[in-house]
Amino acid sequence: MPPMTRRAALSTLAVGAAGLALAPAAGAAPAGRITKAIPGADARIPVIGMGTWQTFNVGDDPALRAARTEVLATFLALGGGMVDSSPMYGSSQAVVGHARAALKGKAPLDRLVSADKIWTRDGDETVEQLDETARRWGVERFDVMQIHNLLAWPAHLETLRRLKAEGRVRYIGITTSHGRRHADLARIMAREPIDFVQLTYDITHREAEKRLLPLAAERGIAVIVNRPYDGGASVTRLKRSGAKVPPWAAEADIRDWPGFLLKWIVSHPAVTVAIPATTRVDHMRENMAAGYGRLPDAALRTRMAQHIASL
């Protein structure tokens, strides 16, 4: 593909996504897309992924399923990679599976990095739950399989290690959120061979900077950031406030509040990917735009955090 400006690349791709008239499995990565390496692996993933909690929990309603299919199509057309779900998220896994099936041959599904979770107290149910999740997604194997909220983690971790050795799961992870159980998570990260950790981190919730992010860097663990918009509160507040994005943020190709918040997160050197969730195609376009162009350096990150604190 010849070099394109970021704006041109985004608008070209967005036009394709709007009508679902997408090019079949495009091999080449979109120009200007930011990716990060998975530590210890010969692989890179785009810095903006997507979550599915609540947003994809729409049950069997055909119109809502079609709308979420369009959200996934837009995500993939704009170079998105990781899609995160969980057995805890109601019908979300099945809706992801529905969208995948609907997009076969119409969207670059080969870009999708599948991330899901084991969420059961019963340490003997790991394989059974993985089988059910794979059936819902319509896949044989997963890229990232995480233990949700540390639930029954010793037993699940042992089984996941075996499943990784067998090739059913590519990477093993463990999750927390809302700043919970960081000390427990740090102990697991320090001792156990895990590939990914998922945690909450945003410009006003910076607890993870103290221990977990440095530890992830030290131990070579990839980091998935959940709740990048504080469940939607931060981006909604900024958009409604009428405050303008400061012009100096253009140094990092930031022109709107979603870009400001997401680029701040993924520019932390230890962060691999952030997974904002949305029900809307226009919001998906904003979110994916944060995965292009330049990232803020340490000085700009400081200035950005000071600016948010001052609003």
**Measured from the CB of residue 297, what is the shortest distance to ligand NAP in angstroms?**
24
Alpha carbons 152 and 167: distance in angstroms, whole number: 22
Whether 28 and 85 have beta carbons less than 8 Å apart is answered as no
Judged by CB under 6 A, which of 127, 205, 231, 237 binds ligand NAP?
A: 231
Q: Rule CB under 6 A: is residue 278 a binding residue for ligand NAP?
A: yes
294 Cβ contact partners less than 8 Å away, ≥ 6 residues apart: 251, 252, 253
Q: Rule CB under 6 A: is residue 55 a binding residue for ligand NAP?
A: yes
What are 114's two structure tokens?
């599948």
Q: Rule CB under 6 A: is residue 228 a binding residue for ligand NAP?
A: yes
Residues 186-205 that bind ligand NAP (CB under 6 A): 198
Q: Rule CB under 6 A: is residue 70 a binding residue for ligand NAP?
A: no
Q: Rule CB under 6 A: is residue 53 a binding residue for ligand NAP?
A: yes
Whether 172 and 233 have beta carbons less than 8 Å apart is answered as no
Judged by CB under 6 A, which of 16, 30, 32, 51 binds ligand NAP?
A: 51
Q: Which stretch binds ligand NAP (CB under 6 A): 17-25, 158-166, 208-216, 229-237?
A: 229-237
Alpha carbons 245 and 248: distance in angstroms, whole number: 9
Q: Which stretch binds ligand NAP (CB under 6 A): 29-37, 73-81, 136-144, 225-233?
A: 225-233
Alpha carbons 288 and 231: distance in angstroms, whole number: 17
**Measured from the CB of residue 133, what is the shortest distance to ligand NAP in angstroms?**
14
218 Cβ contact partners less than 8 Å away, ≥ 6 residues apart: none
**Measured from the CB of residue 53, what is the shortest distance to ligand NAP in angstroms?**
3
Token pair 């993933």: residue: 45
Q: Rule CB under 6 A: is residue 259 a binding residue for ligand NAP?
A: no
Binding string to ligand NAP for residues 97 to 126, with x set by CB under 6 A, is what?
------------------------------
Number of alpha carbons in the 13 Å side-chain half-sphere of residue 92:
23
Q: Rule CB under 6 A: is residue 283 a binding residue for ligand NAP?
A: yes
* Per-position DSSP letters for 52-75, written without gaps between them: -TTTT--TT-HHHHHHHHHHHHHH
Whether 184 and 161 have beta carbons less than 8 Å apart is answered as no
Q: Which residues of this chain interact with ligand NAP, rule CB under 6 A?
A: 51-53, 55, 84, 148-149, 175-177, 198, 226-232, 235-236, 258, 275-280, 283, 286-287
